[in-house]
Structure 1
Amino acid sequence: MKKHLLICFTLATLIFLFGCTEQKQTVSYQELRTSLLSLNNGLSKPSDDEISVLPFTEAYLQLRHALLSSELNEPDVMAHKELDYLRIQERYPERYLPWPAYISVLENVKNKVSSNELGKWLAFVEVKLKEADESNIRLNRLERDTLMLQLESSDIDAPSRSALLAYLSNYKPRAMLGLHQLPNGKEWYQSKLNFYGAIQDSPTKVLAMLSKFDDQNSKASVLKVMPDTQQPYILELLPANCQRIAGLNWRDGFINVPSTVAKCTKAIEQHKALIVTLMAVDLGIHYQGWSQKQAFVALNSKLALNEQQAQQLIANLVYFPATIFAAYPHFLKP
């Protein structure tokens, strides 16, 4: 059995094998998943595993690209679709936003990297945000405020922490919450609709279809499951006995969301009215460029929510674009 890819190859070897030759490494699904888990330790829940590299540094991006360039020795079609999806995501500007706001990176890497190394990473984050700003790539207000809270509550003694906090204090976030306002944002969102919802139609056509679903499921929906920002809300709606199918994407907690939802259609049926509403709001935020206020109004017109529930639902949709559409194929069935 092959050893762990990140142990077998040094960074230089990976770059040579995958970047300097046309030959691709063939790996099993489990090998690739294990390697991606290790690479993304800083972006996952705290564990005892070592931190290979810090998120979105040049070393991280090179290793990720090398892994995603692998040929997958796996018969499952959805595993290949997920790998293709992750390759497509490399085209878009997330690398300029190296600290995903909903991830407690500082807590995840605490006591696993030196203070000096962590200080350098915080300085790197500031540099990348400045580079992003020059390309019209900016955090939204929700992301900016969440990062500031994490920095304020941290006890890291590094000048770069104070510098980043000062920079964010004077930072001008983009006006809207969704992908719509980022360069190639609509195309980025479409790629997510394609993967999570198996949707080839334009978002405009999807909106028209949602209006039909809404007519069929017009009863008011009560929120029984409190949303958070740790996983896509569609997964929170699934009961514990619904099997979570292993995935390759750290953003989804290494769960293949479409495959998982496809096996839990009874749960989807129970939440139809809620899911249709969330799909419409997801499109509003990420495709139509809704403000937070517009999202609030749309949610409250269909759901009985308190302010905290509405805020957390919106945050979940912002951080996990299009994942709610994993239920969409179920709605198309007769």
Structure 2
Amino acid sequence: MIRQIVLLLLVSVMLSACSEQSDRFSTYTEGQQQIGNINNLLSTQLDNGGKTYWPFSEAYLQARHLAYQGLANVELSDSQQAQLNYLIIAQRYPERFFVWPVQRDVISNAIKQDDYTPEALGKWIERVETKLIEAEQSNLRLNKLELKLLRSMVISHLDNNNENVVMALTKLNQYLAQYKPRTKLGLVGLANGKDWYQSKLNYFANTTKPPLSWLSEIQHLLKEKPTVDLSLPVFSSHNKPLVLQYLEDGDLHAGLDWQLDFIDVKQSKRQLNQDEQYFWSVMMETDLGIHYHTWNVQQARVNLMKRLSVNQQQADWLIEDIVLYPAMSFIFAR
């Protein structure tokens, strides 16, 4: 009897070990492609083949974690290793509670997948609400901008032709209608938000420096204002961060982050002219103001309009980009 119990325990341990094994990749390209597949519903490049991973579902989180572990065993360049380390660290922070990233239209992407079913979509929508409720209990809330964008996305899909999907969306919309967003716009308003922001600064700026040191350096650079002549794009959505408009034409390096369209931006960025460098210095200053110094929309708007001579519509669009893509402007830090 004891021997049977021991054997059962051994089998259980072996099965558990097998289930935790990381993916095996021979090259960075294999791992990068797998991470792209896992994030297929968060991609701007539609690929309707393969398995659908619903964002921040248990299957998604496990598959992504195993892919990261697999890449850790592959020979990587310094830039590739830095991006992988950044994404591994990000797993500690609260993004998994915010199941529907407001930058991407997950439902439209899902409906185009070969293995799409309304039942799976309905369950995922229910998970969005469940995780938001769990987040509230941990003092983690969407900010006003995120709430506005998410509710707008939900409402835009209420004409879905499946009754169960519409019921799930209606229930989520009712929940969002009474949702109390956090008062602080930036990451500082979240539990561990300052640490999360610092990790982003460290990665995108490619150096470890506290926000106050960054602010002092940036404001010193901004003392001499050039005659800025920039044509600022204002798009209808934020499915791609503005930094992607300032990359080297043609030769882009493959990356691991869906928010950056799977481009290694630090390897792909180009040299900026004087006006462009001034613009991004202002964006960095405003980024620090929002995500570290708790600036509200009005404070950020005034700073951008004063520094860049932009109109209110342009300023508000830039604020949205900063809120949705924290610290990414520091790609262009000197």
Which of 219, 232, 250 aligns to 1:225? It is: 232
Report the CA distance between 1:14 and its aligned residue. 11
Q: Secondary structure at the match of 2:36?
A: helix
Question: Is 1:289 the counterpart of 2:288 in the alignment?
Answer: no
Q: Secondary structure at the match of 1:52?
A: coil
Kept in 2, the 8 Å contact 1:220–1:302? The answer is no
Residues 228-270 of structure 1: per-residue CA shift (max 9 Å, x gap): 412222221346x253221011111001121112xx11x3544
**Amino acid paired to 2:175:** Y
Residues 272-301 of structure 1: per-residue CA shift (max 9 Å, x gap): 111110000001111111111111011011
Distance 2:302 2:78 in 1: 39
Corresponding residue for residue 58 of structure 2: 58
**Amino acid paired to 2:290:** I
**108 and 43 in structure 1: CA distance in 2 versus 1, 3 angstrom threshold:** same
Residues 165-212 of structure 1: per-residue CA shift (max 9 Å, x gap): 110011111112211100111110110111110131110011010111
**Structure having the higher Rg:** 2
Residues 5-32 of structure 1: per-residue CA shift (max 9 Å, x gap): xxxxxxxx9974472x6x8845410011
Report the CA distance between 1:74 and its aligned residue. 3.0
Consecutive unaligned residues in structure 1, runs of 5 or more? 1-12
Question: Is 1:132 the counterpart of 2:125 in the alignment?
Answer: no
**127 and 311 in structure 1: CA distance in 2 versus 1, 3 angstrom threshold:** same
Consecutive unaligned residues in structure 2, runs of 5 or more? 1-13
Distance 2:226 2:32 in 1: 41
Distance 1:132 1:125 in 2: 11
**98 and 227 in structure 1: CA distance in 2 versus 1, 3 angstrom threshold:** same
Corresponding residue for residue 89 of structure 1: 90
Deviates more, 1:205-214 or 1:71-80: 71-80
Which of 155, 179, 193 aligns to 2:201? It is: 193
**Amino acid paired to 1:37:** G
Corresponding residue for residue 74 of structure 2: 73
Distance 2:191 2:149 in 1: 22
Alignment of 1:293-308 (within 5 A): 293-308=298-313
Report the CA distance between 1:147 and its aligned residue. 1.1
Residues 65-104 of structure 1: per-residue CA shift (max 9 Å, x gap): 1111123423411001111111000010000001111111
Q: Percent identity?
A: 35
**TM-score, normalised with respect to structure 2:** 0.87
**Amino acid paired to 2:31:** L
Which of 162, 168, 179 aligns to 1:160? It is: 168
Q: Secondary structure at the match of 2:191?
A: coil
Corresponding residue for residue 101 of structure 2: 100
Q: Secondary structure at the match of 2:200?
A: helix
**TM-score, normalised with respect to structure 1:** 0.87
RMSD: 2.0
Aligned residues: 310
**Amino acid paired to 2:43:** S
Deviates more, 1:65-74 or 1:181-190: 65-74
**31 and 238 in structure 1: CA distance in 2 versus 1, 3 angstrom threshold:** closer
**60 and 192 in structure 1: CA distance in 2 versus 1, 3 angstrom threshold:** same
Kept in 2, the 8 Å contact 1:257–1:323? The answer is no
Alignment of 1:19-34 (within 5 A): 19=20, 25-34=24-33
**Amino acid paired to 1:167:** Y
Alignment of 1:169-248 (within 5 A): 169-216=177-224, 218-228=225-235, 229-238=238-247, 241=249, 243-248=251-256
**268 and 164 in structure 1: CA distance in 2 versus 1, 3 angstrom threshold:** farther
Distance 1:279 1:207 in 2: 8
Alignment of 1:14-53 (within 5 A): 16-17=17-18, 19=20, 25-45=24-44, 46-53=46-53
**Amino acid paired to 1:31:** E
**75 and 136 in structure 1: CA distance in 2 versus 1, 3 angstrom threshold:** closer
Corresponding residue for residue 274 of structure 1: 279
Report the CA distance between 1:48 and its aligned residue. 2.7
**24 and 162 in structure 1: CA distance in 2 versus 1, 3 angstrom threshold:** closer
